[in-house]
């Protein structure tokens, strides 16, 4: 099984971006990028479901929430805006600036003996054009269905 971008309690990758969105501003890489998301509870449910059933043939099986086409950054901002009851500005950030920031955070984190959050590798991930995936093959073979929408997932993180 190959889960997409997983978020939820304990998340250290997407949570900082979601925190920014909940404060009213969502930085995003320039471009019209798309990403699929999966709440950690749905991932755990899919793993448990896979142990109880047999998919029939070897994967890999992509896993994502029920939105097969994924989300564009403005759609993520809109979900955050609905939850916070106020607008979320989407701030386009050029890839070059993201890369320079990643070099700075990597150097400072190493100097402090910490793990950097934004690395050149993470910039490559963030600026990839289409990270959407469709888990319909896994659903068809096992009957599993993701239960947590982006709105519900954000509500669980920001009650």
148: domain CATH number is 3.40.50.720
Residue 117 lies in a domain: no
Residue 148 lies in a domain: yes
- 88 or 112, which is more confident: 88
Alpha helices in 73-135 (DSSP H): 73-84, 95-112, 120-126
Domain count for the chain, please give it. Answer: 1
Q: Convert 16-37 to b/e letters by CB count within 10 Å (16 or more is b).
A: ebbebbbeeebbbbeeebbbbb
Position of tokens 């909940």? 22
Q: Yes or no: say if 68 and 137 are a contact pair by the CB < 8 Å rule.
A: no
pLDDT in tens, 9-66: 988 888 888 999 999 999 888 888 889 999 999 999 999 988 887 656 677 889 999 9
Structural domain containing residue 71: 2-94+131-153
Residue 120 lies in a domain: no
**Angle, helix 73-84 to helix 15-22, in steps of 10 degrees:** 50
Q: Average pLDDT, stretch 108-132?
A: 84
Per-residue confidence (pLDDT) for residue 55, from 0 to 100? 58
Residue 126 lies in a domain: no
pLDDT in tens, 61-109: 899 999 978 999 999 999 999 999 999 999 998 988 988 988 998 898 8
Residue 16 lies in a domain: yes
Per-residue confidence (pLDDT) for residue 25, from 0 to 100? 95
């Amino acid at each position: 099984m190959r889960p997409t971008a997983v978020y939820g309690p304990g998340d250290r990758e997407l949570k900082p971006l979601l925190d920014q969105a909940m404060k009213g501003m969502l930085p995003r890489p320039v471009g019209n990028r798309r990403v699929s998301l999966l709440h950690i509870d749905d991932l755990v449910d899919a793993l448990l479901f896979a142990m109880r059933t047999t998919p029939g043939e070897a994967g890999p099986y992509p896993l994502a929430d029920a939105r097969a086409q994924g989300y564009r950054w403005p759609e993520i901002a809109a979900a955050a805006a609905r939850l916070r009851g106020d607008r979320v500005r989407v701030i386009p950030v050029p890839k070059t600036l993201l890369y320079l920031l990643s070099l700075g955070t990597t150097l400072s984190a190493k100097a402090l003996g910490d793990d950097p959050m934004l690395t050149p590798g993470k910039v490559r991930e963030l600026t990839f054009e289409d990270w959407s995936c469709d888990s319909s093959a896994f659903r068809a073979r096992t009957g599993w269905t993701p239960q947590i929408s982006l709105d519900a997932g954000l509500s669980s993180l920001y009650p």
